[in-house]
């Protein structure tokens, strides 16, 4: 059985083999021509932004600054059956046919290298491992450090650097094999999780709650009025944010929308599509390290209240390696039991000190 606040980080080096190099020859065809034309229109040399260095930075920081209560375990490959719960057979055939090849998959510049298909299978399987650990009680909470990310991947389409929808595969596995009836997915990546929304759009047993920078920011979906359909009407919750929104807005949304939504839904498992590109270093939004830690505190409280603390996080985006690794570290500390901080508005403390310092200087004698 797990200790009170133990955390397992699941990591498998096979995910590093996904490494599209845009200088090599890709599968010839119309898509290749279109993407090459888009890239040649850029003024700067373009490199694939979703690269192995992201995970290396996270694991290096964790090795340099270990957190008591956090242990590291290996990953596993997802089976075709596990992937087929959320992706169509024809899509899987198409992706599997790209093993050991280099190819573009979408004009949004999503691509694969010879090691990508196995990396994507391992990313999805390792997300399943994280869910299994928290459901069996091996670990109080878990974090799957995986790539390629997953939340843009749709049932029939890879896009946004995502091949398989890792979080959706993990949620579907929890329902099909682990006895979970209601799964809450919280997606706090800066981009809308269009793929996860699509997959569970009409599913009343998966609540999808997404904070993201509003359209026209990529991928452009996730409007406030998009709440699901059919039996699933009401179990999709979108909170679009303006550029520059930060800690205060994120925490208000979690406390005043997510908390009552979770009380209504009563999940027996919580998954977080944990992207860290809402950090200010990634230039789209303005969340801080303390902000991510405080958000983790809110989600942890919901997990404690409704599902015996069962909480698994799955890595999505985050492209500045310094803010990505530091943000993950601050989240892991809270999962391991640290008290989450209440983020301050930057500079207010210093201005208060300055007010004090200058007090009286300009008053007449
Ligand atoms: Zn993102």
Encode 213-260 in three state secondary structure: ECCCCCCCCCCCCCCCCHHHCCCEEEEEECCCCEHHHHHHHHHHHHHH
CA of 282 to the centre of ligand 1 (A): 10
CA of 356 to the centre of ligand 1 (A): 42
Alpha-carbon distance 159 to 114, whole Å?
18
Beta bridge partners of 279: 287
Determine the pLDDT at residue 44: 86
Summarised one tens digit per residue, pLDDT across range 255-278 is 999 999 999 999 999 999 999 999
> DSSP string of 335-365?
HTTPPPP-PPPTTHHHHHHHHHHHTTTTS--
| Tokens linked to 21 | 């190099």
Exactly one of 51, 87, 151, 152 is catalytic; which is it?
152
Domain range 7-347, its CATH number among 3.40.50.20, 1.20.1250.20, 3.40.800.20, 2.70.170.10: 3.40.800.20
C-alpha distances out from residue 235 to 33, 226, 258, 335, Å: 40, 10, 11, 26
CA of 98 to the centre of ligand 1 (A): 25
pLDDT band with cut points at 50, 70 and 90 for residue 1:
very low
CA of 76 to the centre of ligand 1 (A): 24
Helix (H) or strand (E) holding 252: helix 247-253
Paired sense of beta strands 111-112 and 103-104, if any: antiparallel
Find the farthest-apart pair of alpha carbons in the chain and give their distance in angstroms, rounded: 84
**Residue 215, helix vs strand vs coil:** coil
CA neighbor of 62 nearest in space, from 240, 267, 281, 326: 326
Summarised one tens digit per residue, pLDDT across range 120-155 is 999 999 999 999 999 999 999 999 999 999 999 999
**Average pLDDT of 28-49?**
91
CA of 325 to the centre of ligand 1 (A): 15
**Average pLDDT of 19-26?**
91
> DSSP string of 24-45?
SPPPPSHHHHHHHHHHHTSSS-
Summarised one tens digit per residue, pLDDT across range 211-252 is 999 999 999 999 999 999 999 999 999 999 999 999 999 999
Summarised one tens digit per residue, pLDDT across range 197-209 is 999 999 999 999 9
87 included as an active-site residue: no
CA of 127 to the centre of ligand 1 (A): 18
CA of 80 to the centre of ligand 1 (A): 26
């Amino acid at each position: 059985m797990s200790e009170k606040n133990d955390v397992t980080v699941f990591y498998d080096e096979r995910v590093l083999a996904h490494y599209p190099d845009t200088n090599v020859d890709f599968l010839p065809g119309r898509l290749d021509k279109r993407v090459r034309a888009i890239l040649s229109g850029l003024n700067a040399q373009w490199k694939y932004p979703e690269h192995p260095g992201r995970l290396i930075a996270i694991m290096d920081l964790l090795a340099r600054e270990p957190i008591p209560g956090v242990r590291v375990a290996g990953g596993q490959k997802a089976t075709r059956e596990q992937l087929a719960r959320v992706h169509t057979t024809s899509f899987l055939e198409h992706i599997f046919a790209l093993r050991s090849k280099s190819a573009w998959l979408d004009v949004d510049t999503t691509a694969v290298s010879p090691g990508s298909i196995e990396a994507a299978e391992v990313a999805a399987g390792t997300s399943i491992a994280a869910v299994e650990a928290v459901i069996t009680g091996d670990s109080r909470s878990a974090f799957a450090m995986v790539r390629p990310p997953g939340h843009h991947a749709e049932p029939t389409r890879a896009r946004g650097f995502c091949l398989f929808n890792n979080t959706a595969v993990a949620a579907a596995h929890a329902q099909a094999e682990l006895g979970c009836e209601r799964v809450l997915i919280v997606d706090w990546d800066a981009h809308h999780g269009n793929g996860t929304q699509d997959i569970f759009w009409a599913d009343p047993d998966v609540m999808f709650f997404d904070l993201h920078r509003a359209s026209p920011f990529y991928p452009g979906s996730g409007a406030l009025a998009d709440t699901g359909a059919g039996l699933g009407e009401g179990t999709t919750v979108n909170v679009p944010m303006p550029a520059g929104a930060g800690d205060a807005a994120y925490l208000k949304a979690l406390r005043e929308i997510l908390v009552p939504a979770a009380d209504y839904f009563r999940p027996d498992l919580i998954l977080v599509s944990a992207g860290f590109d809402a950090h200010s270093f990634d230039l789209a939004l303005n969340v801080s390290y303390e902000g991510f830690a405080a958000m983790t505190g809110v989600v942890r409280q919901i997990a404690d209240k409704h599902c015996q603390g069962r909480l698994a996080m799955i890595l999505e985006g985050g492209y500045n390696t310094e803010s990505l690794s530091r943000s993950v570290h601050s989240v892991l500390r809270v999962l391991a039991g640290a008290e989450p901080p209440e983020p301050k508005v930057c500079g207010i403390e210093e201005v208060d000190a300055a007010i004090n310092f200058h007090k009286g200087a300009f008053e007449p004698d």
